[in-house]
Amino acid sequence: MSSPLSPAPHASDTPNTPNTPHVIDPAGGCPHALNARLRARGAVAEVVLPGGVPGAVVLGHEALREFLAHPDVAKDGRHFPALHDGTIPPDWPLRVFADARGMHTADEADHRRLRALVGKAFTARQVERLRPRVEELTARLLDDLERAAAASPDGTADLRTHVALPLPMSVICELLGVDPEHRDRLHHLSNTVIVSTDTAPAEVMAAVRELVELIGTIAAARRASPGEDLTSALIAAREGDGDRLSEAELTGTMRLMLIAGHETTLNLISNAVRALCTHRDQLALVREGKATWSDVVDETLRWDSPISWFPFRYPTRDLPLGGTVIPQGTPVLAGYTAAGRDEAFHGPDADRFDLTRPTAARGLSFGHGAHYCVGAPLARLEATIALERLFTRFPDLDLAVPEGGLPRQRSFIGNSVEALPVRLTGPAPA
């Protein structure tokens, strides 16, 4: 930041006191203890991003809700001066978020134009039409999970590999008209570019270039042979009226759909399974009809958001927020995992996984305001079907290792585990 966060004029009687900025660990890890420590200082914390770049993170629920919808907060990287004045080197790994062009980095009229093109595929009615296909895919993947467990010497299988990843990846790729042979590579590249924040800069830049080339290949295939898919529709909209969708916007929008369309749901399903396996009393509430699978999804989104600290938004003026002032042009992270357990909003039991929590107390994991996640209805559909079918078919399913022993994603952006070994018949014999 151009200057440290400072107490806002007319702040509360106990404004934030100056603190040493938190230096973000690119390797990430479980965020909840860190969130609690930083939130104790205030709703907004000064941070140092990888590469020594000053920034901020919004941690409190009410502050984040205000920030996400604030008219003086932008998504376009042109509002981030250090990105353009030579302060930040060209190979800064987080440039991929700031330099991207598409719906997720557009503001006002440009954002509305791009969102209108994409949003038609994600209305509640359109998503509901996908239910039979999602159910069919889920059944097939549960067969794969069962076969993998049966073939394993210890009777375990990785739920992320066999269910949580291929379900949303298959659905979003079918929506976009992506040929199956590209899907594994797309996940590898998106994980390298977006999720694994401890990846070396040279590797990130190489992955970005390959991802852009692969998306270009996908777009070229659909341009040569249009179909009833979203990519074909985006191309037609661009070519039918050249000023509607530029090549960069087409590539950026496709990249957003491909990455957000599977990475978030992958973590959501994984985190929900972990939560239910370690809170059997809450699973019992669903089985007894006292809670629903939708409640499981909502509470998982709040309690263990699939995205932890997401980049970037930029104040277009010095912005009073949460008892501090965030200087104009600061790159700000949205602290979804932190806001989800904010005791000031969710109460003293915010750390408790509770399916009976009032709906009004749910979290902000899909965002708020104009940039609310356009794919939220699809993610909810996929997760609710996957969880219901999984625990109906395998009622004794449990983690194959203690929850604390699961390998965490090496990321401060994604929030989940890298593998989720499960045993379909419950705990191993003593």
Summarize pLDDT for 68-108 with one digit per residue, the tens. Answer: 999 999 999 999 999 999 899 988 989 888 888 888 889 99
Residue 310 has pLDDT above 80, yes or no: yes
Residue 2 has pLDDT above 60, yes or no: no
Residue 201 has pLDDT above 90, yes or no: no
Q: Say which amino acid occupies 206.
A: A
Lowest mean pLDDT: which of 11-20, 76-85, 205-214?
11-20
The pLDDT assigned to 101 comes to 82
The pLDDT assigned to 7 comes to 58
The first and second tokens of residue 406, run together, are 């699961």
Sheet-wide strand order for 44-49: 22-23, 44-49, 53-58, 332-335, 309-315, 73-74
Lowest mean pLDDT: which of 94-98, 303-307, 378-382, 404-408?
94-98
The pLDDT assigned to 209 comes to 85
Rounded CA-CA distance 73/99 in Å is: 17
Q: Is 65 helix (H, G, I), strand (E, B) or coil?
A: helix
The pLDDT assigned to 87 comes to 92
The pLDDT assigned to 15 comes to 40
The pLDDT assigned to 16 comes to 40
User: Which pLDDT band, with edges at 50, 70 and 90, does 1 fall under?
Assistant: very low
Residue 198 has pLDDT above 80, yes or no: no
Average pLDDT over residues 374-403: 96
Q: Say which amino acid occupies 350.
A: A
Query: In the chain, what percentage of residues exceed pLDDT 70?
Result: 92
Lowest mean pLDDT: which of 27-41, 201-215, 241-255, 369-383?
241-255
Average pLDDT over residues 401-418: 94
Rounded CA-CA distance 355/284 in Å is: 11
Instruction: Round the average pLDDT of the chain to a whole number and report it.
Output: 89
Residue-wise pLDDT for 146-187, tens only, equals 999 999 999 999 999 999 999 999 999 998 888 888 888 888
Rounded CA-CA distance 193/51 in Å is: 16
